Each structure stands twice: as structure tokens, then as C-alpha cells.
């Protein structure tokens, strides 16, 4: 009898095999949960909602309602929202290694690039990871040779 690859099951990482990689919804949920935990630990608060998407070799976590610290809110109330965004972006640069290590641990893929973007109103933050190879079960179509458009007369 042939062994089934661990990523073949949408559940992945079952209690019977804790070493099996997470897959499907369990992987996406684990990523959302870990990012929220890291934000709570290092920002002092976390988002109200977190949703992770995976497509091929891209993982995106969308955080809504991250909430601002009293310091950040005071700055925003005085019209200094861009400085708050810049401060958060700088902080995300400092956190990049922790985020990348977490994604690599959960996906068992190498993170090639990490991008983070914060937006004030509405309060949305995006954490995006490009990984070295596609995640099983999360496909995409790649177009390599795009034909030139035909002219219609």
C-alpha cells in the first residue's frame, strides 16, 4: 500500500501525526492565529478580524480593526495619521524575521519576500509572503508568453 503525502488531506497536522504539515483551512487558520498572537504580544493589542488567503506561492493575511494604541490615536486625532502608518511600517520591518520564521515553520516553505502595508481609514493591515514553491491545494494559472493584442479594423 502506498503512503499518502501529508499535504494530501485538507485537515493536515492531525493529532495522530503531530509532525504532519498543516494544510488547507487548518494551515490558514494557524497563520491567522499566530499573526494575531504576535501582534498582541508586540503591539499590546491585536486586530478584531484576521483572514488568511493562499494562492499558489503567495500567502496573504488581512487584518482588520487592528486598533490603535492611545499614543497612535492621539497622533491621528491631531492629523498625524501618516506618521502612525510610517511608525507601524518601521515596526513591521523590525518584526519581519519573526513573521518570516513563523510562515516558514507553518508552511515548510522558504519565504522569499515579505511585504507589509498598513492603512488608517479603514483600519486594514496586509501581511504578504512570497514563498519558494506553491502550497499544495492552492493553485493559480501562470501566463508566460502573452500574445500581442490583435488590431481590429
Count of structural domains within the chain: 1
Q: What percent of the chain has pLDDT over 90?
A: 40
* Three-state secondary structure call for residue 56: coil
Asked, for residue 57, whether it belongs to a domain, the answer is: yes
User: pLDDT tens for residues 13-28?
Assistant: 445 556 777 888 899 9
Asked, for residue 95, whether it belongs to a domain, the answer is: yes
Strand partners, 114: 129
pLDDT in the model for residue 7:
39
For the purposes of burial, counting CB atoms within 10 Å of the CB of 60, is it exposed (0-12), middle (13-18) or buried (19 or more)? middle
From 4, 20, 3, select the one nearest 106 (Cα to Cα).
20
The grid cell for 47 is 486586530
Q: What is the mean pLDDT of the chain?
A: 83
Ranges of H-type helices in 12-137: 24-43, 70-77, 81-107
Arithmetic mean of pLDDT, 75-94: 87
Range of the domain at 35: 20-131
Place of cell 494562492: 55
Q: Which residue has the higher pLDDT, 23 or 101?
A: 101
Amino acid at each position: 500500500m502506498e503512503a499518502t503525502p501529508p499535504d494530501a488531506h485538507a485537515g493536515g497536522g492531525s493529532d495522530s501525526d503531530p509532525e504532519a504539515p498543516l494544510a488547507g483551512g487548518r494551515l490558514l487558520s494557524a497563520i491567522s492565529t499566530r499573526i494575531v498572537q504576535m501582534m498582541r504580544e508586540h503591539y499590546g493589542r491585536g486586530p478584531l478580524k484576521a483572514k488568511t488567503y493562499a494562492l499558489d506561492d503567495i500567502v496573504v493575511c488581512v487584518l482588520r480593526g487592528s486598533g490603535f494604541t492611545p499614543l497612535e490615536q492621539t497622533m491621528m486625532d491631531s492629523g498625524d495619521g501618516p506618521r502612525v502608518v510610517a511608525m507601524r511600517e518601521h515596526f513591521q520591518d523590525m518584526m519581519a524575521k519573526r513573521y518570516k520564521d513563523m510562515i516558514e515553520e507553518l508552511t515548510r516553505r522558504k519565504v522569499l519576500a515579505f511585504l507589509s502595508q498598513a492603512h488608517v481609514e479603514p483600519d486594514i493591515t496586509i501581511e504578504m509572503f512570497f514563498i519558494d514553491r506553491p502550497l499544495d491545494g492552492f493553485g493559480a494559472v501562470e501566463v508566460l508568453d502573452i500574445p500581442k493584442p490583435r488590431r481590429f479594423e
